A and B are shown apart, each in its own frame.
Chain A
């Protein structure tokens, strides 16, 4: 039993139209003061529900069906709503995922902190202000004296999360529930925030419950960990022990799905599969003659460029400027240079990984290459021929077909009002690859087979699929255009690790089969390591380092690359 918090047999249920849904079932966990306990699992694991249950804010109509939550040995379930609310802030507080949205935009930092402090202790305004100031300094806000009268939007993401932490701390709680506190942040800032949490746990003896999907974060700072899946507890114990020598099959599979930073594997092995596929009518539904071998044949049938010696894509001195000037501006603004002086070559059949933090210009580079953004200077060549900018590249230009893109968010990159058959069929029709409707149908079914989706999926709409399935559909859509060059812009960052592993495996297979050249963009270094032959590092719109992937990950040359690598949380410390 933890002396700070103990949760026993906690079960939370949600009544729905189709009966009662059990969000978490018989969860046990305990926490000592100053301990950081990680809750890890994929989406739907019930991590956040546990946090909400502890702080007594389960979203209606959910309720605690069974079990108890004890803080300092006292049961919280028996508290009245008012008494529970008094406890919030005073004893238990919370940190949210996105610092952009977790502060009130219309109140200054001072307003928000002073209000919170005075809510829980009977002190004068000036005293509360002094306390707030001290806390902001403790959480690493420079110039706190002057900055505390500013509004949240005047702080950067990392600074804002520090303010959020200061706000959660300003009432001296004993327990803080941190729900994905670093997921929205860049790795370098993530590192700082995690260090801050670690330090606060030690100096102030605050217990933290850290909810995250990122095993790297768990390995980095937690003392103990609970692995969850589908609302059930899989494994719990000291972090080193659980991650070092996982006992449960699920933990092992989860660990195997995490991309490794230290070495490149050919494929992810031991991937979690959901229930084995039974030969349901769903799976038996076939379009006559459609199969993955047909898809492979069809995709390879397209005219191939006579082997071109040089790079598939070559970018010289590329520059992209966004100007922020409005309609009625007198002074001509300089504009913002999103990309400066980019030189890049992608060789046929190779994967070029592009690494960078948010705002580094990764996505702008992708958009400039596919022709969605107009560069302000520089040249691009595709298979040795010049690649026109933006709209100058007409819809009939060969590169429109040969360069395809897979976007980050599979929820917004598929049109929800169209059937999968039409979504995947569109490029085939558009590029005139097959005019006959029956043939198109056969191709769509075959390509679905190829990306390991049931053929019947073509009759459905995007909302009927999960994120991973949607991303497979997006890959299929890019593939049917018979591209030579594929741009993947953070294709897995919206997905759970096990799904990510599946998609990455799929991309690797397809790349091998069709000899695709890929520009693979990601902020996640480990993912890039698993995918790339070559690597390019972007920082503030400039290319700081390029080179062969293995050499880069073994011995990065540029100081910034070294920093990025060292700040990426890794399992190396535990899973040696």
Chain B
């Protein structure tokens, strides 16, 4: 198992190297960094001096290794727009995005898995069909439309829930959380729902089809033929087997939620990393964009690694195969 994890780690390092190279190229070659930084009245000589100071005249490889070294030591450089260190900017935005992603993942799991099981077992039932049709509508409507609809219904018409921002937050060290105040929790509901509905339908449909497949296997038929309690057949035997592929997809989804919460964050003016990314695009704040790229890639890689390790825990065929040793 250790060999396996080491191998995956090595692969992850290659992925990160590739992404950082992309980020570097973006930073260095999309537009001239000096021209963006200085005003129009700066003299050519001053510009040239700045270029020399920033090391932009060095060979490309030297620049890339410096860029990498900075990334690894946590020095992400400064934003063109706010002149603040990018590390701090992203770190202050990260809790908002992670909490939003976590809650919407939770919604998609808590509702999606039971609904998937139900529709798999009660195939062709009236309620099961109703659920399937409703969720089909859910998938077909784009996220921002759902967001705007929810704002209109619960924010504008009913006036129950806040429609933008994070509300009151509590700071624990550098981490600010929504979970500890009523206002913060209320502010979370609409964006988390918006982000979660699409994932929910995916989870539900995946669980349903996996579960249906498993219910048709011989070992389930054999369990039924042995007179095993139907509850145990469904949950102990069938559900666990359907979870193996579901775990992979859910892991990837979580990465996706964090990376692509941009739309939802913009609809709800949620002060997370996605909104920061959007602002950076508006102001062509290239250093922030390239760091964002690296961080999202890192999140994906870490989640993938966790999913691989989960495989070991769930599936004895992976855990106990001779190669895994």
B225 and A94 form a contact (CB under 8 A): yes
Interface residues of A (CB under 8 A from B): 55, 57, 85-90, 92-94, 96-98, 101-108, 115-116, 119-120, 150-151, 153-154, 164, 167-168, 171, 324, 326, 328
Interface string of B213-228 (1 = CB under 8 A from A): 0000111011111111
Contacts of A151 in B (CB 8 A): 316-317, 320
Contact with A along B94-105 (1 / 0, CB 8 A): 000000000000
The A/B interface has a contact count, at CB < 8 Å, of 90
Please list the residues of chain B having a beta carbon within 8 angstroms of any beta carbon in chain A. 7, 10-11, 217-219, 221-230, 232, 236-237, 240-241, 314-317, 320-321, 323
Give the residue of A85, A88, A153, A167 whose beta carbon is less than 8 angstroms from that of B317: A153
- Asked if A89 and B317 sit within 8 Å, CB to CB, the answer is no
Shortest A120–chain B CB gap in Å is: 6
When distances are taken between beta carbons in the complex, the residues of chain B under 8 Å from A103 are: 219, 222
CA distance A517 to B89 in the complex (A): 77
Contact B316 A105 (CB under 8 A): yes
In the complex, which residue of chain B has the Cβ closest to the Cβ of A176? B225
Contacting pair A106 B315 (CB below 8 A):
yes
Contact A105 B227 (CB under 8 A): no
Are A119 and B228 in contact, with the CB atoms below 8 A?
A: yes
A106–B316 touching, CB < 8 Å: yes
**In the complex, residue of chain B having the shortest beta-carbon distance to the beta carbon of A100:** B218
Contacts A88-B226, A101-B218, A107-B237 aside, 8 further interface pairs with beta carbons under 8 A come to A57-B221, A57-B224, A96-B221, A97-B218, A103-B219, A105-B241, A164-B222, A171-B226
On whether A167 and B222 interact (CB within 8 A), knowing A87-B227, A153-B320, the answer reads yes
A102 and B323 within 8 A (CB):
no
Task: Check A154 against B226 for contact (C-beta < 8 Å).
Answer: no
Q: Is the CB of B320 within 8 A of A328?
A: no
Residues of chain B lying within 8 A (CB to CB) of residue A153: 316-317, 320-321
Q: What residues of B have a CB within 8 angstroms of the CB of A105 in the complex?
A: 219, 241, 315-317
| A115 to B236 alpha-carbon distance, docked (Å) | 11
A220 to chain B, nearest CB (A): 24
Cα(A24)–Cα(B78), bound, Å = 79
The answer for the CA separation of A86 and B227 in the assembled complex, in Å, is: 6
Q: Which residues of A contact B226 (CB under 8 A)?
A: 88-89, 93-94, 116, 119, 167-168, 171
Q: Which residues from A are CB-within-8-Å of B314? A: 106
The chain B residue sitting closest to A151, CB to CB, is B316
For residue B20, give the distance in angstroms from its CB to the closest CB of chain A. 21
- What A residues does B227 contact at CB under 8 A? 85-90, 93, 116, 119-120, 171
Which residues of A have CB within 8 Å of B223? 104
A94 and B222 contacting across the interface, CB-CB below 8 Å:
yes
> What residues of chain B lie closer than 8 Å to A115, measured between beta carbons?
228, 232, 236
* Contact assessment for A96 and B320 in the assembled complex, using a CB-CB cutoff below 8 Å: no
Of chain B, the residue at the smallest CB distance from A328 is B7
* A101 and B217 contact, CB distance less than 8 A: yes
| Pairwise interchain contact B225-A57, C-beta atoms closer than 8 A | yes
CB distance from A553 to the nearest CB of B (A): 36
CB of B206 to closest CB in A, whole Å: 18
- In this complex, what residue of B is CB-closest to A87? B227
The 8 closest A-B pairs by CB, nearest first: A89-B227, A88-B227, A94-B225, A89-B226, A102-B218, A151-B316, A101-B218, A104-B219
**Is the Cβ of B237 less than 8 Å from the Cβ of A104?**
yes
Q: How far is the CB of B158 from chain A (nearest CB, A)?
A: 45
Residue of A nearest to B123 (CB): A60
* CB proximity of B12 to chain A, nearest CB, Å: 12
Q: How far is the CA of A87 from the CA of B225 in the complex (A)?
A: 9
Residue pair A96, B232 in contact (C-beta under 8 Å): no
Can you report 15 A-B residue pairs in the complex whose CB atoms are below 8 A from each other? Answer: A86-B227, A89-B226, A94-B226, A98-B218, A101-B218, A103-B219, A104-B237, A105-B317, A106-B240, A106-B316, A116-B228, A119-B227, A151-B316, A151-B317, A328-B10
Q: Which of B222, B227, B240, B317 has the most CB of A within 10 A?
A: B227
Complex CA–CA separation, A102 to B221 (angstroms) = 8
A115 CA / B229 CA spacing, docked (Å): 10
